[in-house]
Amino acid sequence: MDNLLQRSGLFLQAEDGMQITATKRDGPVDMGMMERRQLIVAQKPVKSTAAKPPAVDALEQDADIYVHPNLTQSYNPHKGRLLQVSAFVSAGTMILADTPYALIPSADPSHPDASICSNLKCRQQVSRDTHREICQRNCIRDVVWCDNRCRTADQARHDFECAWLKNYGESLRQNEGQYAFAMLWTVMRLLAGRYIELQAGFKPSELYSWEDRFKRGWDSIEILHSNRERWPQTQILHWKRLVEVYLTHDNQSDLSVDDLVDLICKEESNSFGLYPSDTGIFPIPDPPIERGVDYGLGIYPRASIVNHSCIPNVIWRADNNGRMVLTTSKDLAAGDECFICYFDLCKYVDFKARQKLLREDFLFSCACERCTQEQAEEIYGRLE
């Protein structure tokens, strides 16, 4: 009966139904189904006029992005994508404040107070001395929120990662090390962002003035360079093992093992550390000012486009809201490319030390004007 009513667009009002019994007759008369009947009251449902709960804003954090009107991206066949300015920009100008698609705290047990609110819209540092909300399922101690409001806002995304953190977090740390844990947790948060977008049916639309120049959402992650062909095969096989052990069981993603390895390559090639001081001040001040110890790690899709130089013209630093802020350190003319330094120039001063770090951690050698000159001086010195 229920199925019949549903096909007719009706629903049963059980409270208004009543049992009807036929009048008793003399003699053994069999009335069959007519002896007892059920009066059913049914009606078509009335469309509710109540407001529906708001749809999940899959990329709410993008409202915090700032892109300078003169900042554009271009493409070079040798470098790939790059950032440049289309018109003059003076020194000391903020050209980009990017928000992360995925962000984790440093997750270093030796720095238990280095926490970041897990709500991707908030991203504030959370001090150990202040009140903090923790996961009600106690998945892992590194997951904290500023307050209950942030926890509620972040619930859908955290639900994606919670069971994984509870099942693998501590064992991954103990068996594979802190670096592998941070890497895979970042990947899980990338997947969580993708999942939220898919659930919300999100399709990027031009809400912001910069969307004609830069992508957002999962589209901005898909176009990141993985540099997979440059990574040693032993490293690729190691990451494949990590994926098979830690990311394929109860995986809520439809990505293959190969896709997930590629995502790790993207994370390793494009992540930013969050430091308390500037990176890329040049010339190096006297006395040198180091950028400090990192307190977080994030994937900033638009900031990751900028290329490296050992004589950068842009300084980068995370602001108090976890945005990656790029600020010019020199005047830039129309058409000039923007460069940052990928490491702390105060710690890697020597030419050989810089090149070794870049080859091992970033898979390329720098040929900027400074490196070219210092290499020539080194060669000339050996010939004398």
Q: Per residue in 133-171, is it b (16+ CB within 10 Å) or e — as a string?
A: bebeeebbebbbbbeeebbebbeebbebbbebbeebbee
E-only strand ranges, the chain: 11-12, 18-21, 36-39, 42-43, 66-67, 71-76, 80-85, 94-98, 102-105, 115-116, 125-126, 133-134, 144-145, 271-274, 296-299, 307-308, 314-318, 324-328, 339-340
One-character DSSP codes across 218-268: HHHHHTS---GGGS-HHHHHHHHHHHHHHTSTT--S---HHHHHHHHHHHH
Give CATH 3.90.1410 domain extents, the chain.
66-349
Q: Which two tokens stand for residue 321?
A: 């809201």
Rounded Cα gap, residues 283 and 100, in angstroms: 29
Task: Name 311's Cβ contacts closer than 8 Å, sequence gap at least 6.
Answer: 282, 339, 368, 369, 370
Helix (H, G, I), strand (E, B) or coil at 365: coil
Cβ-based neighbour number of residue 349 at 10 Å: 12
Digit-by-digit pLDDT tens for the chain (384 residues) are 444 444 444 444 444 444 444 444 444 444 444 444 444 444 444 333 333 333 446 788 999 999 999 999 999 998 899 999 999 999 999 999 999 999 999 866 566 566 899 999 999 998 877 788 999 999 999 999 999 999 999 999 999 999 999 999 999 999 999 999 999 999 999 999 999 999 988 776 778 999 999 999 999 999 999 999 999 999 999 999 999 999 998 666 789 999 999 999 999 999 999 999 999 999 999 998 889 999 999 999 999 999 999 999 999 999 999 999 999 999 999 999 999 999 999 999 999 999 999 999 999 999 999 999 999 988 876 666
Q: Could you give the 3-state DSSP secondary structure of residue 307?
A: strand
pLDDT at 324: 98
Helices (H), 83-177: 148-153, 155-176
Q: What was the pLDDT predicted at 202?
A: 74
Cα–Cα distance between 9 and 214 in angstroms, integer?
Answer: 47
Could you give the dihedral angle defined by the CA atoms of residues 49, 53, 59 and 64, in that order, rounded to the nearest 10 degrees? Answer: 90
The third-level CATH classification (topology) of the domain covering 66-349 is set domain protein methyltransferase, domain 1 (3.90.1410)
**pTM for this model (two decimals):** 0.83
What does the DSSP assignment read for 19-48?
A: EEEPPP-SS----GGGSEEEE--EEPPPPP
Q: Is residue 82 packed enough to be buried (19+ CB in 10 Å), middle (13-18) or exposed (0-12)?
A: middle
Task: Please tell me whether residue 161 adopts helix, strand or coil conformation.
Answer: helix
State which amino acid sits at residue 361. D
Using an 8 Å Cβ cutoff, are 187 and 269 in contact? Answer: no
- What own/partner pairs with CB < 8 Å and gap ≥ 24 does 240-245 have? 242/176, 242/180, 242/184
Terminal CA-to-CA distance of the chain, rounded, Å? 100
